[in-house]
């Protein structure tokens, strides 16, 4: 596969960088060592201006190409954080931080973007500006959103922004590109039902919040099956039902919790509103009260089609057209790159990773380890993306 030669030559260096980051995992907004490593490397590559402090531990490296005419700029984003889980691997670069692990491959993502930065800083064979965005706290803490709030796109304006994630379900050497939704929005809700407690033998003296909750749980099943376009994907799961303490006591109240996952913003808003209305009217029908608390999580990660096509064309140059998977089904998992794609056009691709180290080589599994064999593929994709989107005129 046509990996860029100068990047192929970085295989050993990148492997060493990746394993060093793997051995020192840090959780969201605590990536101090990782950010130090990233900033020092970017500065050492030459020609890159390094900015620190967006979203606390974020790092942005800015590099201008040798061409001077275009005035254009793009952003490439990698995530740096690890997960709060113990590592089950016992190789010599396994986590040295108990209870923390790079089980999602962000060590590899950071390394691939560093590899591309090193190559591009040396060659600068493009016309315009590239911002290398190293974000903290992808795993549930919203570091991407925080970087935007802290001025990412006002300080480092980009016309387009690109991201990638390693994908163990996809063979190493392949790249998948979605022309629209890639990952779902994931929102939490909590429903607080207030009834009136009574003796189980005298239910007519009270208002039973358990019965109200049961009706809510049942009615919620229609939010998707009757309320959502069958061609659209969404899921509502009630995962906590909490009420009562005794066999013979009807409790005063009940609490339900769960998540909803959607791809389109219209469906997301509609389900939220319909669910809220349903909850209060069901409760009212029984003479009870219910409050629907919605806690928005990550938005859906939705590629813009023109940028997805550009990404796929670049992927084809690196892995060949037979190895580019166009428009596979999206996943209901969530990803905070969705915030960046709400601000700018762009594309988030899946980089084939394979289950190279065995059946436990799955994202968020304690046996996961990033596949170093794909470091040069990812770095070459980044480099080629820059040279293709910001071409130098002859």
Q: Note the residues at the interface with Zn ion (CB under 5 A).
A: 104
Q: Which is nearer to Zn ion, 89 or 125 (CB)?
A: 89
Dihedral sign for Cα 129, 135, 138, 142, please: negative
Q: Which is nearer to Zn ion, 178 or 310 (CB)?
A: 178
Nearest distance from C-beta of residue 363 to Zn ion, angstroms: 6
Residue 106 counted as an annotated binding residue: yes
In the complex, which residue's CB is closest to Zn ion?
104
Helical segments of 93-183, H only: 106-123, 143-149, 152-155
Measured CA to CA, the distance from residue 43 to residue 31 in angstroms comes to 18
Nearest distance from C-beta of residue 368 to Zn ion, angstroms: 10
- Could you give the angle at the alpha carbon of 299 between the alpha carbons of 63 and 346, nearest 5°? 35
- Give, to the nearest 10 degrees, the angle between helix 375-389 and helix 305-319: 120
Q: Which is nearer to Zn ion, 104 or 312 (CB)?
A: 104
Token pair recorded at residue 9: 């030559």
| Strand, coil or helix: 52 | strand
Nearest distance from C-beta of residue 105 to Zn ion, angstroms: 6
Residue 160 counted as an annotated binding residue: no
Nearest distance from C-beta of residue 138 to Zn ion, angstroms: 6
Nearest distance from C-beta of residue 350 to Zn ion, angstroms: 11
Q: Which is nearer to Zn ion, 317 or 331 (CB)?
A: 331
The CA distances from residue 60 to 16, 45, 164, 252, in Å, are 22, 14, 17, 53
Q: Which is nearer to Zn ion, 107 or 160 (CB)?
A: 107
What does the chain come to in residues?
Answer: 394
Residue 361 counted as an annotated binding residue: no
Residue positions in the annotated binding site for Mn(2+)?
Answer: 104, 106, 139, 165, 364
Q: Could you list the residues known to form a binding site, using ranges.
A: 104, 106, 139, 165, 364
């Amino acid at each position: 596969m046509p990996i860029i030669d100068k990047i192929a030559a970085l295989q050993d260096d990148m492997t060493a960088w990746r394993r060093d980051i793997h051995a020192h995992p840090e959780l969201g907004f605590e990536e101090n060592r990782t950010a130090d490593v990233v900033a020092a490397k970017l500065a050492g590559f030459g020609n890159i201006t390094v900015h620190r402090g967006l979203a606390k531990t974020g790092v942005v490296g800015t590099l201008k190409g040798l061409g001077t005419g275009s005035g254009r700029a793009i952003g490439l984003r990698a995530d740096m954080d690890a997960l709060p889980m113990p590592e089950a691997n016992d190789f010599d670069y396994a986590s040295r931080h108990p209870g923390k692990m790079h089980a999602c491959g962000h060590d590899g993502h950071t390394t691939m973007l560093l590899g591309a930065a090193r190559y591009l800083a040396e060659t600068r064979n493009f016309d315009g500006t590239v911002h290398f965005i190293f974000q903290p706290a992808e795993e549930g803490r919203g570091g991407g959103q925080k970087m935007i709030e802290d001025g990412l796109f006002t300080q480092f304006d980009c016309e387009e922004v690109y991201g990638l994630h390693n994908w163990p379900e996809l063979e190493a050497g392949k790249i998948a590109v979605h022309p629209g939704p890639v990952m779902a929005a994931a929102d939490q809700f909590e429903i607080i039902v207030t009834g009136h407690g009574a003796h189980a033998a005298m239910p007519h003296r009270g208002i039973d919040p358990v019965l109200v909750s049961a009706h809510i749980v049942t009615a919620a099943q229609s939010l998707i099956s009757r309320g959502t376009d069958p061609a659209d994907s969404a899921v509502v799961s009630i995962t906590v039902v909490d009420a009562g303490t005794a066999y013979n006591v009807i409790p005063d109240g009940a609490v339900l919790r769960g998540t909803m996952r959607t791809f389109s913003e219209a469906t997301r808003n509609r389900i939220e509103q319909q669910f809220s209305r349903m909850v209060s009217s069901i409760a009212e029908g029984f003479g009870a009260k219910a409050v629907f608390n919605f806690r928005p999580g990550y938005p859906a990660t939705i590629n813009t089609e023109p940028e997805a096509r550009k990404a796929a064309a670049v992927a084809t140059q690196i892995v060949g057209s037979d190895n580019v998977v166009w428009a596979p089904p999206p996943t209901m998992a969530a990803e905070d790159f969705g915030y960046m794609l709400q601000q700018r056009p762009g594309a988030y691709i899946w980089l084939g990773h394979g289950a190279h180290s065995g059946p436990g080589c799955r994202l968020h599994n304690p046996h996961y380890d990033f596949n170093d064999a794909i470091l040069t593929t990812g770095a070459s994709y980044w480099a080629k993306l820059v040279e293709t989107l910001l071409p130098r005129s002859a």
